[in-house]
Structure 1
Amino acid sequence: MKRNNHNLRFLYSALTAGVLLGLLSSCSSSEGNTSDQAAKTPAGVEVFPLKKGMLSSEIQLPGELISFQQVDLYAHETSFVKKIYVDVGSEVKEGQLLISLEAPEITSRLSGAESRWKSQESIYKASKANYDRLLETSKTPGTISPNDLDQAHARMSSDYDQLQAAKASYREVTNSLDYLEIRAPFGGVITSRNVNPGAYVGPSGRGSERPLFTLQEQKHLRLVVSVPEVYTTYLQQNDAISFRVKALPQDSFSAKVKRQARALDTRLRAERVEMDVQNDDKKLLPGMVADVTIPLPSRDSTFVIPKTAIINTAEGIFVIRVTDGKAERVAVQPGRTSDGKTEIFGALQEGDKIVTIGSEEIRNGSTLVTKN
């Protein structure tokens, strides 16, 4: 009798546990279905109508200040330094004498050229006088044969040509003397001096490994910037830019675009752009690195959208267009970005509804509930 009571209690406990497990399983299943159903319920996505606009932005690029003109001055003739009139830092004017040289052999050559010129001049005068005499005598018939007259004329012409050659040689040596005085080809500042009085100098590689002087124009500078390919179409002649230099952080300078290479550097994939900078107070120095701010105003209206609408995936760059409640990915090419907005280019039409916050989870053909 006791054994039967024990079996009944065990059977009752098992039935109770089974009922409890069934209730728990039912509750869990109900909660799971509710969660899945909530996940499948499409939430409303915000969209906006596509419009065209003008997006203006600016870029920061490094630039370099260089002298507007710069020249290394060498001696034209092999010679010796006689006297130096300027030094490093000297400000000179165009045509100002910088250095005088001496070359005794040039003086000797000049004397020889002058002697040849005078000698040839005497020979020409004699042959001309002979021809003139024969020509006057030939006016009496039978006195001078035509052949003798022709020979006299030919000799006179030859002596004249020799005289002109002697004069040219003399002028050449005289010009060589002029090269013994080196003058400034333009106004500027002497930034390098590599010789002293008595030094042996000559053309590059012949007595002068380095130039006598380096002359730079510093009141007028060039600001050189390499503009990346993507921004080259936004720049035009006379566009104003601003820049700063580290040596004068409190000052801001301005310049205008004057020259564009109209070609890309194959190494940098950038266009060389030059601006003219007036530097009358000479606060700026050639070689300074500048932080350049270049404004990029829009020339034409383009589609401008919030940056959040763009989806950048491994397959490409897209925006999501909503057509008849269905999602459609449209490939686009982004342009400039400014203040959270981006230019885009693609197969889009004005008025298209675009999802404001794009997501990779939204696939082509997905049904979307939109809200404005």
Structure 2
Amino acid sequence: MHRRISVRNLVALASGLLLVSLFTQCHSSENKAEKEEAEADSVTAPAPTEVFSLTKGKLASSLNIPGELIAYRDVDIYAKVSGFIKTLNADVGSEVREGQLLAQAEAPELSAQLASADSKLKAQEALSIASKANYERVLEASKFSGAVSKNDVDQALAKRNADLAQLEAAKSAYREVATLKNYLAIRAPFDGIISARNASTGAYIGPAGKGSEFPLFVLTEQKRLRLVVAVPEAYTGYVHAGSEVSFTVKTFPNRTFTGKIKRLSGALDKRLRSERVEVDVINNDKKLLPGMVAEVTLPLPTQSNTFIVPKAALVNSTTGVFVIRVKEGKSEWVPVKKGLEADNKIEIFGDLNEGDQLVTTASEEIRDGAPVNVK
């Protein structure tokens, strides 16, 4: 009897232990499920996102671009008529004034032609004076009835007019030869400096032949230069005549020079896709030399108000450039085009309105249409 009760007690004890174990396992499973659900909720909840209101403004930027200094005027001086150099009055480095005599040539044949033209002119002047006097006498005599026929008057008038025309032709021939002889005096067409000389005293010169292979002189205007810059197509809309430009050269690295934009070509170079822009540079001290390469700082001010955003607000994806607009608690990817950049800010152009809420630090992790928790 005592043994039978012990077995029952053992069975009851085992059953109790089993129930406790099952209850403990169920309670643990419920706690685990609740914990996993809480963790899932914490993952799906969007993190606070900082936004800003879109506003318009003006952005001033600059473009660093190489340029080249060239002479404002630079000409090759050739002889117009054939001859021999008699004297040279300028050499390389000579500063000359407009009209100054650079070289004097001589041509004996021109002197002979001028003397011949002068004698023909004097002879024709004498004939013209005689025919004029004869016409006046015949005309006076014709006033008396029957003294001179009308035909004689007409012939005298024709002779006077013919001799007068011959006189004008002789004067023209004389002026032509005299002008050619004047070309033997080679003068400077403008103020400048002689940068090259390719002839010596006694050398043959002329528009054709050995003396014309190289120019006699190269005259360069040095006190005023042109700074030539090729502005890329993307920036041509920001460049305007009258804007001041600064630049440096390697020869004077610690000195900054300035000039104003004077000329824009108005067309793009077909190969470089750039516009030629010229800046006038005053160079009275002649420190700058034609041919120098300059590092140019070109101002690029915007002329009207545009949308300005931080660079971090842009998303550069494989499909384009976007900003993320927050609308009704959800993100909206808006495609934009970029403009000028300066001080970590950038111009943007797109389907946007002033006052739109944009994400300050945008990234591809904020998907289009995803909920946004605005900070």
Q: What's the TM-score once normalised by structure 2's chain length?
A: 0.86
Counterpart-to-counterpart distance in 2, 1:31 and 1:117 = 125
| Map of 1:242 onto structure 2 | 246
Q: Note the C-alpha offset of 1:42.
A: 2.5
| Map of 1:80 onto structure 2 | 84
The yes-or-no answer on 1:368 pairing with 2:372 is yes
Counterpart of 1:367 in structure 2: which amino acid? P
Counterpart-to-counterpart distance in 2, 1:35 and 1:118 = 122
Q: Note the C-alpha offset of 1:152.
A: 1.4
Counterpart-to-counterpart distance in 2, 1:98 and 1:76 = 14
Taking a change above 3 Å as real, the CA distance of residues 117 and 31 of structure 1, as seen in their structure-2 partners, is farther
Q: Secondary structure at the match of 2:143?
A: coil
Contact 1:53 1:304 in 2 (8 A): yes
| Map of 2:296 onto structure 1 | 292
**Length, aligned pairs only:** 346
Q: Note the C-alpha offset of 1:362.
A: 3.1
Q: Note the C-alpha offset of 1:189.
A: 0.5
Counterpart-to-counterpart distance in 2, 1:63 and 1:39 = 57
| Map of 1:160 onto structure 2 | 164
Q: Note the C-alpha offset of 1:75.
A: 0.2
Deviation string 1:204-224 (CA, Å, 9 cap, x unpaired) is: 667401110000111111111
| Map of 2:316 onto structure 1 | 312
Q: Note the C-alpha offset of 1:107.
A: 0.8
Deviation string 1:134-167 (CA, Å, 9 cap, x unpaired) is: 1111011122221221121112101101110110
Residue 55 of structure 1, aligned match among 39, 55, 59: 59
The yes-or-no answer on 1:228 pairing with 2:263 is no
Q: Note the C-alpha offset of 1:337.
A: 0.7
| Map of 1:353 onto structure 2 | 357
| Map of 1:143 onto structure 2 | 147
Counterpart-to-counterpart distance in 2, 1:154 and 1:125 = 14
| Map of 1:176 onto structure 2 | 180
- Which is worse superposed, 332-341 or 232-241? 232-241
Counterpart-to-counterpart distance in 2, 1:321 and 1:206 = 77
The yes-or-no answer on 1:212 pairing with 2:216 is yes
Counterpart-to-counterpart distance in 2, 1:353 and 1:162 = 93
- Which is worse superposed, 269-278 or 35-44? 35-44
**Which 5+ residue runs of structure 1 have no aligned equivalent?**
1-27
Counterpart-to-counterpart distance in 1, 2:292 and 2:40 = 65
Deviation string 1:171-214 (CA, Å, 9 cap, x unpaired) is: 11111111000111111110010111121111266740111000
Deviation string 1:272-313 (CA, Å, 9 cap, x unpaired) is: 222221111111111111111122223222111011111222
Contact 1:242 1:254 in 2 (8 A): yes
Contact 2:203 2:211 in 1 (8 A): no
Contact 1:78 1:206 in 2 (8 A): no
Counterpart-to-counterpart distance in 1, 2:210 and 2:150 = 57
State how 1:2-41 maps to structure 2 within 5 Å.
Answer: 39-41=43-45
Counterpart of 2:344 in structure 1: which amino acid? G
| Map of 1:106 onto structure 2 | 110
Counterpart-to-counterpart distance in 2, 1:252 and 1:106 = 54
Q: Note the C-alpha offset of 1:38.
A: 5.4
Counterpart-to-counterpart distance in 2, 1:205 and 1:39 = 92
| Map of 2:4 onto structure 1 | none
Whose Rg is larger? 2
Q: Note the C-alpha offset of 1:326.
A: 1.7
Counterpart of 1:279 in structure 2: which amino acid? N
Taking a change above 3 Å as real, the CA distance of residues 106 and 36 of structure 1, as seen in their structure-2 partners, is farther
The yes-or-no answer on 1:335 pairing with 2:327 is no
Q: Note the C-alpha offset of 1:31.
A: 9.8
Counterpart-to-counterpart distance in 1, 2:40 and 2:142 = 133
Q: Secondary structure at the match of 2:355?
A: coil
Deviation string 1:245-275 (CA, Å, 9 cap, x unpaired) is: 0011121111122222232222222222222
Q: Note the C-alpha offset of 1:84.
A: 0.8
Q: Note the C-alpha offset of 1:36.
A: 6.5
Deviation string 1:214-246 (CA, Å, 9 cap, x unpaired) is: 001111111111222222222333222211100
Counterpart of 1:64 in structure 2: which amino acid? E
| Map of 2:191 onto structure 1 | 187
Q: Secondary structure at the match of 2:169?
A: helix
Counterpart-to-counterpart distance in 1, 2:39 and 2:159 = 122
Q: Note the C-alpha offset of 1:325.
A: 1.3
Counterpart-to-counterpart distance in 1, 2:276 and 2:208 = 30
Taking a change above 3 Å as real, the CA distance of residues 280 and 354 of structure 1, as seen in their structure-2 partners, is same
Counterpart-to-counterpart distance in 1, 2:307 and 2:133 = 92
